[in-house]
Structure 1
Amino acid sequence: MRLVVQVKLLPTPEQAEALEATLNAVNRAADLVSRMAFERRCFRNYALRKHCYQAIKQAFGLSAQPAQHVIKKVADAYTTLHANIRAGNLGRPGSTRRVSAEAKPIAFRAQAAQPYDDRCLSWQLDARTVSIWTARGRIKQMAFTGSAEQLAVLAAYRRDESDLVCRDGAWFLIATCDVPDVPVAAPDGFVGVDLGIVNIATTSDGTRHSGKALSAHRHRQRELRRRLQAKRTTSARRLLKRRRRKEARFAADTNHRIAKRIVTEAARTGRGIALEDLHGIRERVRLRRPQRVTLHSWSFHQLGSFIAYKAARHGVALIYVDPAYTSQGCSACGHVDKRNRPDQETFACTSCGFAEHADVNAARNIAARGVAGWAVSHAADDAA
C-alpha cells in the first residue's frame, strides 16, 4: 500500500529564495516542453527527450536529473489529460470544455510541484535535515520538521520520488512510502456506514456523526467570502487569499476524525466495513438550486477514501454495496416503500410497523448487503 508523508521544510530566507527560483525555472522549462510536445504531437517520455532535453538544460541551466524529471512531469500531465478525455470527464466530443482542453498545450503554474529522486534529494532523518538540488546549487542541511510517527514511516518505507511543494509561502516535501499490506482478517459481520449531509456518517450501531458543525462552518465561510468579494479592496483580497483553504482543511480534519472512529470500532469488534458505492451521484441526483451548493461541497468521496486507507492499514475488510433503496427499505422485514420515510429523520415501516432513525435504518441495510456481498464474492473465490 502506498502512502504519502508530508513534512514541512524550515528554510532560511536565502534557502527559500533558492527554492522559489528552482520552482520558477523548472516550471518555465515544463511550459516549453509542453508547447514542443503539443506542436509535435509527441507525448511519450523517452521520445520527448530527443526533442527538448538539451534545449531545456541550456536554456534554464538544469542538471541532467531535474531536466529528465521536467520532461517526465509533462508526459505524465498529458497522459492524465488524455485519460480524462477518453473517460468523458471533460465532456462529449465538441463540448466547450473538451475543445478548450484539446486546443492548447498544458500550462504549469510558476509554483507547481516538482518531483525529486534520490540523486537530487537525500534525507538525514536523525538530524532532521535534507540535502536538495536547487537552480542555485545544492543546499545541504536544510531543516525540516515532522512527528515521530512520520519519521518512523519515512525511515522504514520511503521509496521512489518526493515532491517539493510551495503552499501559501510554506515549503513541504511529500514523500512516497511503500507500506506493506496488512492481511485482511475474515470479518465477523459488518459495520454499515450511511453517508449523508445532515449526518455525515451514520453507522449500523446507531452512532451518528452530525454534519451540523461542518455545514455551519461552510455557511460562515461562504458568507465571509461573499462580503469580502463585494468589498474589492486590497486588504479584502489579502484576507481572501489567506483564508482560501480554511474550509477544506476543516472538512478534511472532520473526515479524518470520523474515519478513524469508524475503523477503530470495526477493528476492535473484528468486523468489516460496508460503504455505499456512490460513484457518479452528483450526475444522477437532481436538486433545487439552493441545495446544489451543499451537494457539491459534500466531501463524501474524501471520507470514503479516508475510511478505505485506514481500513487497509488495520487489516479491516471493506466492501462497497449498491445504495439503491437503502433509505426506503425496512431493515427488519425488507419492505420497500417511499412512504416508509415520511421525512429526513424518521423511518416507519408501513408493513411491519418497525420504527427507527432513518439513517440508522439505512446503515443496517448497508451492513446486511455487506454480509451478503462478502459471502458471494468469497464463495466465488473459494470455488476458483
Structure 2
Amino acid sequence: MNALMWITVVSLAAWVWLALGQGFFWRTDVRLPERRPPAAWPSVAVVVPARDEAETLPHSLPSLLAQDYPGRAEVFLVDDGSTDGTGELARALAAEHGGLPLTVDRPGEPEPGWTGKLWAVQHGMALAASRTDATYLLLTDADIAHAPGSLRELVAAAESAGLDLVSQMARLRVVTFWERLVVPAFVYFFAKLYPFRRVNSPRSRTAAAAGGCALLRRAAAERAGYPGSVRQAVIDDVSLARVVRRSGGRVWLGLADGVESVRPYTGLGPLWRMVARSAYAQLLYNPLLLAGTVVGLVVIYLVPPAAVVAGAVTGSVVTAVAGAAAWAVMAGTYMPMLRYYRQPLWLAPLLPVTALLYTLMTVDSAVQHHRGRGAAWKGRTYARPEAAP
C-alpha cells in the first residue's frame, strides 16, 4: 500500500462525490424555464459594452438589431475607448441592416476604481434611463450573436418565473484544435464551480451568471446598486449575480441554444490569456488558495492517468484499477459537455491534458499579478480591488 495507491483512492472517492454530490454539474439539460407570453411585453434596453470589436461586430450586432420582440426595445452600444473604429462600424451596420433603434456613445476612460467594462455598462444604463423607461436591461457582450427570438424567450422566462436575473451561458466557438481542447472544458469547469441547479435554487447561496447574456430587471439593479457595487470586479458576471441575490433577487443560469459567441481563438495564446486574466481573481488573490487549487487539480485530474501507467509498470493492480475507475468517471462526466459542443467523444479521456493546461494558466495568472501585470485585457491592467483607488 504505497503513497500513490492511497492518493489514487482519494482521487476516485473525490470523483464519485463530484459526480453525485456536486449538483449534477455535468448535466447539460439546464435550459430556460417554462415560458408563457406576458399579457403586455415590457420594454427592454440592450446595453452592449464594446472595446476594439470591429472584427466581431459584423457577426453579432445585426443579430441584436434583428430581434423579433413584440414590445419596445432599443440597443445602446458603448464604445469603450476603441482604436479600431468600433463605434463608426456600429453606426454603419445599423444604417445597413435597420431593425431596433441603435444609440452609440463613448464615455471616455473609466474613473479610478472601475474596470472598463463596468464603466461602460454604467454609462449605457444611464443613457438608457435617460431615453427609455425600460423594465429590463439585456447586458450582452459585443461578440455574442443572438437568434431572432432570443430576447423574447429571455423576457418570457423572467416574467413567467418572476426572475430578476436570467443569464445564459453562450455557446462559445469551437473550430480550431486548441478551441476543441480548451473551450468545452472552460464551461465544464465553470459548471463544477457553480452548479447550475444550485444557482437556480431559491434555497441556495450559490450565485453566478454569464456576462455574455444577462437579462436584468432594472428594479433589481437599483436595489443591488449595480454596477457601482461591483465596479472593481474582474469577474463581473458572478459579482452581478451575488449582489442581486444578496438584495433579495431571484437568479437563474443555464446553457443557451440560440446565443453564441463569434469570437475566434486561433491559437493557444488568446485562450491562455482569457483564462489567466481572471484565474487568480477567482482565488481571491490568495497564495494559499492557489496552492490548494494546484494540489487539488493534480490529485483529481493528473493522478488517475499517472496511476494507470504506474500500476501497469509496477504490477500494482489496485493502483491501476483505482486510477482507471477515476479516469473513467472523469471522462464520463465530461461527455455531456462534448455532446453539447458537438465534439467527438474521444476528447473526453484527454481532459487531464486540458486540466494540466488550466493548472499552468492559473499559476501564470498569479505570477502576472505579482509582477504587476495581472488582469490584463485589451490594453488595460487592473489592480486587485483593495489596491484600487
TM-score tier by shorter-chain length is: under 0.3
> TM-score of the superposition, structure 1-length normalised?
0.22
Greater relative contact order: 1 or 2 (C-alpha under 8 angstroms, separation 6 or more)? 2
Question: What is the TM-score normalised by the length of structure 2?
Answer: 0.22
Larger Rg: 1
Q: Whose strand fraction is larger, Structure 1's or Structure 2's?
A: 1
